[in-house]
Structure 1
């Protein structure tokens, strides 16, 4: 054997020993916790699960009466006076791409069947004495439940109140359309989320009070600019649970392919929601948007939410439907807890 080759080989082995063993070509070094490189995520294993949400304006945490800056095309300053959304059909997505429903904890006062109410503003923003229906105490930014053991890598949910859901006996329970003052659960009896003129509920309510108010060309003004999302074009139909069928459901689908509830939370970003809106003026029928297909203000907001406001063509029957599969939301994002 060539003695020069033996010398080089021995030198290489010695260096490997000094360095704590050789590093093969196929091996990857362990990430340095101080390097900013994330460790490989094995996924979420299931069990008791909390999906956390947050309301923000850009990077600013938002709660009742927060003063927000840089809102909309006029970069307005505005105070948050309401911030509530319903979410349902919360599912974790396993490594095979299957959607596994999060079984919601029915002991939570903020949850009923497959529906949860997120109240970011909290009871201090409510007007006492408006109605006999009292607000739930405090705020809520979590959906709690459980999923079977598994390997979960994603999350999906919908913003809105479903038409119905099955109870523990397998019976259909009307949710969005039910007697306004006899709700099956307190989260469906919050007065300022009822939408009786549409025979249902507001799925998302975000009200802002911009500095200087909301102006119109005719000189009139209002103190608030409000966004109320809900099903529209609703007609009585005894064949449907709850007795109403809505031509435009307006339920928002959101999906994240990478999500771990131990590490991530879902953010609703108000700067993104109102990015194309001018909350300091409005010349349409409403001060803001009430999901009306003829309201120009709603065009921009629905586009941000990835929703089709009206039918794409006469008779298209696609009004109020998601534009995509929810993977590219402009309004909802993930951030590390």
Structure 2
């Protein structure tokens, strides 16, 4: 005869065993363990690593953390085994960190890295891209597959969670060997890191770290996409930081970030910002004679005077920037405005000009009290809104292209880009050149070193964005206007002479005439990026109406 064992007896025995082993209730803690791994672009020494326990994408005090040592090694102590698989790994890379790709110097600019929960053994710019896709809802496997497709890596033995520095050895990036494919991931990681560095300093103080990381990683993916589609063999692309890094101006990133964060307060407060142009103490318009411009005190008249303004941000007393949503009209769309002082009179030709001028921008902002303003001279790569429509490099015949960007006289041929400024001056005497003379000294500002075909739907990026950011800590739109000073623009330029090539400055990095113009714009001629946020610029100023 079989005997039934009472279930309560088994339950009591299990409880006793658990109690004897220190388990069960009573508040006993789970066993502690450590998490070790490696951090790399090249191996990074001096970076802070943590588990993002509270999910805010910042290494906070109290979260398990450590500092990377030689070879990018780190160890986190005092965690549980479940912590490792529950929380993502974050890395804060300071400007002083040492990269083994450049062992004699520091990385120079701070940035961030991350890796999904359970994948902390190797953290890199590529695992950071994967983590961003995981945050957006993808599985780890799907996210890794998407990034591998971006790199044209189909080899299933290659893992983006593997140490590509060690796996690469001495191989160069190629599709011929597994080591070569790991070399490709290493070079792609460098491109991502460089792209993150290009914009991080402008946004890192923002309170919403998740939104900051999303914006910068989208820029980094654009950089990889452009390099891939412009490679001679797109099935085996190579990546290089000397190629295209999709670096937009800091003000552009701030405007995009404002949309990513979302604005809980409707923009209902009207904003009107007036513009004017002077040449020192002289008023400027078509048909008006100007004197004393440039290093040779040249006299003459303007022939054209138009420029694009974007990223209009008002600044409150606490230093917060709030986006102005520009109204839509023939001269304003997608938060870009074409300021137009050319009226087809005097030296300003009717063949390429317009009789109608546009000297004030109009829009709306969230209600508040604002004390300053920030703006950008130029056209962004893409609109800052959720639609992300291509702007600077776009098909002029496409329905999504705003009318103010279809003006043929404000366009130039490379990758369908725009002239951010078309400021042309005709001296009274012909301009001397090595091969003869010319009549017009041009300031055509625009992005250069561009890759990607916008007619094929490819995001176009440029080595030299050449957008000018500027701001005024004190500005009252009701009593003041923003004034462009041609005397400051031409302060370091000889308007009676041109050394050859493009007449005047058309944004060429080797054009001698561009050195003085870019100094006035406070844009690095070699890099195409704003110098210190344009803090020292005197081209634009605030004056009473």
Same fold (TM over 0.5): yes
Measure the CA separation in 1 of the matches of 2:269 and 2:510: 46
Shift of 1:212: 1.0
1:292 & 1:157 partners in 2: Cα distance?
A: 24
**Conserved? CA contact 1:180–1:194, under 8 Å:** no
Residue 331 of structure 2 is aligned to residue 110 of structure 1 = yes
- 2:417 is the alignment partner of 1:200: yes
> By how many angstroms is 1:137 displaced?
5.0
CA deviation after TM superposition for structure 1 residue 90, in Å:
0.4
* 8 Å CA contact 1:213, 1:222 repeated in 2: yes
Q: 5 Å matches for 1:20-31?
A: none
Residue 326 of structure 1: how far off its partner (Å): 2.4
Change (3 A) 1:324 1:241: farther
How far the C-alpha of 1:123 sits from its partner, in A, is 4.3
Out of 518, 529, 533, the residue aligned to residue 325 of structure 1 is: 533
Against the structure 1 CA distance between its residues 198 and 221, is the aligned structure 2 distance closer, same or farther, given a 3 Å change threshold? farther
CA separation in 2, counterparts of 1:137 and 1:91?
A: 30
Q: What residue is the counterpart of 1:157 in the other structure?
A: 375
What SS is found at the alignment partner of 2:383?
strand
Show structure 2 runs of 5+ residues with no match.
1-267
Counterpart pick for 1:270 among 486, 502, 505: 486
> Who is 1:290 aligned against?
506
Aligned twin of 2:448: 232
Q: Which of the pair is proportionally richer in strand?
A: 1
1:255 aligns to 2:471 (yes or no) = yes
Is it true that 1:171 corresponds to 2:387 in the alignment? Answer: yes
Query: Following the alignment from structure 2 to structure 1, what is the Cα–Cα distance between the partners of residues 378 and 316?
Result: 24
Structure 1 position 257, deviation (Å) = 0.1
Q: Which runs of 4+ in 1 moved over 4 A?
A: none
Alignment correspondent of 1:31: none
2:516 corresponding residue in structure 1: 300
Shift of 1:209: 0.6
Unaligned runs of 5+ in 1: 1-45, 311-318
How far 1:93 sits from its partner (Å)? 0.2
Q: CA shift at 1:171, angstroms?
A: 1.3
* Among 357, 361, 368, the residue aligned to 1:139: 357
Kindly name which structure, 1 or 2, has the bigger radius of gyration based on alpha carbons.
Answer: 2
Q: Cα distance 1:216–1:77, how it changes in 2: closer, same or farther (>3 A)?
A: same
Q: CA deviation at 1:287?
A: 1.4
- Choose from 296, 319, 330 the match for 1:74: 296
RCO comparison, higher one (Cα < 8 Å, 6+)? 1
Q: Relative to structure 1, is the Cα distance of residues 242 and 77 closer, same or farther in structure 2, using a 3 angstrom cutoff? A: farther
For the pair 1:62 / 2:284, whether they are aligned, the reply is yes
Task: Give, in whole Å, the separation in 1 of the partners of 2:273 and 2:491.
Answer: 26
- 2:305 aligned partner: 83
Do the aligned partners of residues 242 and 97 (structure 1) sit closer, same or farther apart at CA in structure 2, a change above 3 Å counting?
Answer: farther
For 2:500 and 2:273, how far apart are their aligned partners in 1?
37
CA distance in 1 between counterparts of 2:354 and 2:334 reads: 17
Paired residue total: 274
The alignment yields a C-alpha RMSD, in angstroms, of 1.9
Distance 1:198 1:64, change over 3 A: farther
CA–CA distance in structure 2, aligned partners of residues 248 and 285 of structure 1: 19
Q: Deviations over 1:246-270 (max 9, x none)?
A: 1100000010000000111000100
More helix per residue? 2
